[in-house]
Each structure stands twice: as C-alpha cells, then as structure tokens.
Amino acid sequence: MADLRPIGAPFVALGPSGVAIRDRLKGLTGEDEKVLRLVGDHLGALAGRDLKARCVTGLDHDTDAWAGRKRALTRESSSRWAGSITKATHDQWALSRRAQLAHIQGLEAGIKTIAHRLSLPLCEKGSGRAPGGYRTAQEWFAKSRRLHVLQDRLERERDDRAAGRVRVVRGGKRLLRNRHNLDAARLSEAQWRQRWQAQRRFLQADGESGKRYGNETIRVTCDGAVSVKLPAPLAHLANAEHGRYVLAAKVSFPHRGDAWRDRVTANRAVAYRIHEDVERCRWYLTASWTIPPSRTTPLATARLNGIIGVDTNADHLAAWRLDKHGNPVGVPRRFFYDLSSNADHRDAQVRHALIRLLHWAKRHELSIAIEDLDFAAQTTREKHGHRKQFRKLISGMPVAKLRSRLLAMTAELGITVVAVDPAYTSQWGAQHWQRPLTSTNRKTTRHDAASVAIGRRALGHPIRRRTAPPHDDQSERRGHRTAQTGPGTRRREGTRPHIPGPRTRSDGAGCGANAGDQCAQHRSGHAAEPAQPILSL
C-alpha cells in the first residue's frame, strides 16, 4: 500500500462555456454557390499567407507585427475580415504549440519506458505498474535501435519548440496524405481536389456586440436571411447595397433557435461560419457564442440524495444508483453504443447513450459521478508492448467526446456532474463489490463493480465495504467500523425490534418474545429472563 499514488478529491465539473448550433442553407442557387466559393477561396489564400507569416515570426511576435499583418490583409479584404483571419491564425498557432508539447511529452515517456525495459534481463516479468524485459534478443535489438530514433526525434522537437517553429497544414494532414494514396482512400484526383479546396476555404467571422444583429461581416436577420460582406476585390459581385451579397437560402436553427433569436434581436455578438459538405453537396451555417459559466452546485448538495456512478467502457456505460450512505440501490444499468463506423455514427451513438443515462438520472433527481480519465500516456505502444488489442481498446474509448457531450447535455437538464480520480476504481471495485453483489439471479460484472466504486468515491466514502478493525483488539475503542452508517445515525447499535408472527417456517405464532434481548439472541450465558418456578400439580 505504500507505493500507491495519492488520490485526488472529487469535485463538481464545470459546465460548457459556449454554444454552437448549425442549420443547412437550403435553396441556394448556382450563383450563390459560385460567390461563396470565390469569397472562400480568396479569403483562404489570405489566411494561408497570414499563417505562414505568423509561423515565420515565431516567438518574436509582438503587437506591432500583428498590426502590420492586419493592415496588409485589410487592403485585400476589409478590416473585419482581417480581424477574423488574424484571430484564427493566432488560435491555430497556439493549438500547434500545445500539440507540440504533448508530442514531446509522449516521446519522453516512450524513451523512458524503452530504456527501462532494455536495462532488464530478457523475459523478466513486470509488475502492474512497470513493464518487464523484452521477450527475445531480436526484440531487444530492434527496440535499442528505436530508442535512438526516438531520441533524435525528441532532440529535433525540443529545438523546434525553443525556436518557436511549428508545422501546420491548412486543410488537414490526413487529407494531404490521402493525395499520395488515392486508391486506399477510394477517391479520384478530382474528388480529392474538391475536398481539399473546401477544407482550405475561409468563411468565418467573429461577432461584435452592439452592431446590427451581432455581426457585420456575416449578417443573419431575425427571420433567417443571410448576407455576406464581400471583400474589396469581389465587391462587383454584390446584389445589395454597401457591397453585400444576400443569399437566397434562409435558416431557422431548430435547435436553440429561441436563444439565438434573443441574441440577434438584442444585437449581441454571434460568430458565424459557412462551410461546404462535399460528400453530400450541401452548405451549412454554424452560429456560436459564449455563455457565462453556470453556477456550480456545492458538492454537499450534489451528494444529498445519493448519486449514480458511471464507468466508461469501450462499448457501453455501466451505471449503478447509490444512496447517500454508499449502498447500491436497485439493479445495475448498461447503456450500449457502437463505435465501429464513421465519426458521425460514433457521435450519434454516444449521444443516444447519454440521453438514456440522463433521462434515468433526471427521473430520480440524482447527480452523476464519472471518472476524470485521460489516456494520453496509456496508448503508447512502448508501455504495453505487443498488447495491440489492449492499446486499441484504450484508444477507442470516447473519453474526451463523452465528457464534453455529457457536460453540455447536463447543463441543459440541470444535472450535476461530479468528477473523481480514476485511480484503482476497477481493481478495488472488483475486489470489494463484485462477489457480494453477485447472486443466483444477477451476475455482476467488473464494470458494474467499478461504477459502485466511482459512486462511493464521489460520495466521500472509502471504496471497501468496511474499514479495518482496530490493531490492538476487536473492540470498538477507535470508533465505529462500519463505513455505510455514520456515528450520528440513530438506532445503529440498537436491538432488533420485535416483529409479531412467525419468523421462520418452524416457529409458530407468538414466538420471538426475546427478540429485543441481546443476551438471549447471542447466547452469552446470561439469563435471558428470570427463572420461572416449577409448579406442581
């Protein structure tokens, strides 16, 4: 027990800080699509040029350099388009820096693991927290060469980070690599070129509070009419005054349309993005805005009526309801999802599983306890070696998407989410709860037991069913040993109440007169009741 890592305290997870809704631009004419593609291609070229200038500047970037870039973009577009482009460039550069740091940390973890395993004899067994030696001399030799490769990569990445160099691909690295593997991607060159151009277009504008309908660049009125402010070189394409182009399509935003309509009516900032789905031949408009962080519920209030512990797995959510003392109530629930198809299908499956879970929690008016998982350091092949299926299992778990989806959906329903430390929940749950909760009619799985452990940790109880007895003797000298019931609970040490009637099939009615006498019940040797004189007839 001495080498266990410290376990963090549970906390109430914060809700979402923004809202994004999307609607299809139906009824676009051929001229509308032509204008949108011309505007997007022109602004996309400006965005690529600006991103290149930002990457060249590196760590030497300052306010003057930003102002110079914005002035150069303003001459070829407008001041508002230039502001949106430079902001997107800064966000992309900052994201690349964070990804670079994560890559460096992954390389350091891989080098540390390989060096440790190379230092061990062949076929030496590892422990639960450290891998053992390599199985063969051939594997040992291959890993020794890989160690040098990783060290070279780490040195190169550290030099890039110190110099402020990042590598960014506008349009996505995966789509860029598909250009050299069109047969594997099942794309023709024309199809790939169409997707590549659609991904590199730039048609997004930040909102401005106090301006008409919250956005002067991409304006959407209360009745759904969409108009775009054309850049200066394309102003001759305008079909409305002040260099604007009004689209034939209208939007309604069925989801959260009332909230969006309230914002544009009050002229509050709303950001818009127009993009094309090449596979479906459709155009979409996405509206987004920030919201103030919701007022978090105190942890004591979230624990008041009990909690629902949820264990996240590769194909389902295992959930169990617990009362405020940490005792499982009812039967376990499982909410399944299938992650074997494309991204849209996986997202829909996760969303449907969460909807069923939240409806169950809302019906009982309970909070939800979930692990604060992060598998960034667990998916590397250097740690688990040849266990490819296990690494695939961990990588396939939708941890980040499920957490973000859950927080967004619970904020709408008013359900509190309590995040707990994931350390040892599966191991200790199976050790202390799997067998006691298994019966002839119900087989408790390891995941069900883990959900009980998660719920008990969120409630502030220890995971094990009872605390250890005192070291000196078996008395109650050091306090009550039961973890489920607190010292302040009434009648916790009281005698059993007398229940009239037969208590077993062998007893007749009227038996059990000594049910309230502990001496008689436990046969301690003391007289249960005064001796009765023998009457002689």
pLDDT tens string 232-266: 999 999 999 989 999 999 999 998 899 999 999 99
Does the pLDDT of residue 10 top 60, yes or no? yes
Q: Which residue has the tokens 């119900």?
A: 442
Displacement of CA 235 from its chain's centroid (Å): 44
User: What pLDDT does 60 receive?
Assistant: 87
- The per-residue pLDDT of the chain, averaged, comes to 83
- What's the rounded mean pLDDT across residues 420-429? 88
Task: Enter the tokens of residue 372.
Answer: 């604060």
Render pLDDT for 96-114 as a digit per residue (tens, 0 to 9). Answer: 999 999 999 989 988 998 9
309 — phi, psi (to 5°)? -85, 130
- What's the rounded Cα separation, in Å, for the pair 448 and 335? 12
Nearest CA-CA partner of 423 in 4, 3, 1: 4
Does the pLDDT of residue 270 top 70, yes or no? yes
457 — phi, psi (to 5°)? -70, -35
Secondary structure class of 357 (helix, strand, coil): helix
User: What pLDDT does 92 receive?
Assistant: 94
- What's the rounded Cα separation, in Å, for the pair 428 and 421? 13
Does the pLDDT of residue 515 top 80, yes or no? no
Specify the DSSP element, H or E, that contains 307: strand 307-312
- What's the rounded mean pLDDT across residues 281-289? 95
DSSP assignment of 138-167, as one string? HHHHHHHHHHHHHHHHHHHHHHHHHHT---
Nearest CA-CA partner of 294 in 113, 201, 464, 417: 417
The pTM (predicted TM-score) of the whole model is 0.73
8-state DSSP, 481: -
Task: Enter the tokens of residue 221.
Answer: 């009125």
Between the alpha carbon of residue 184 and those of residues 160, 187, 197, 282, the distances in Å are: 32, 8, 20, 25
- What's the rounded mean pLDDT across residues 449-468? 86
Does the pLDDT of residue 508 top 60, yes or no? no
Highest mean pLDDT of the ranges 194-208, 308-322, 338-352:
194-208
Render pLDDT for 322-336 as a digit per residue (tens, 0 to 9). Answer: 999 899 998 999 998
- 110 forms beta bridges with none
- What's the rounded Cα separation, in Å, for the pair 151 and 32? 53
Between the alpha carbon of residue 436 and those of residues 82, 156, 327, 452, 497, the distances in Å are: 65, 54, 12, 12, 26
Q: Which residue has the tokens 């960014």?
A: 168
User: Which percentage of the chain shows pLDDT scores above 70?
Assistant: 80
Sequence-ordered list of residues with C-beta below 8 angstroms from that of 144, at least 6 positions apart, any chain: 118
- What's the rounded mean pLDDT across residues 497-521? 52
Render pLDDT for 341-398 as a digit per residue (tens, 0 to 9). Answer: 777 777 788 888 889 999 999 999 999 999 887 644 455 555 555 556 555 555 555 6
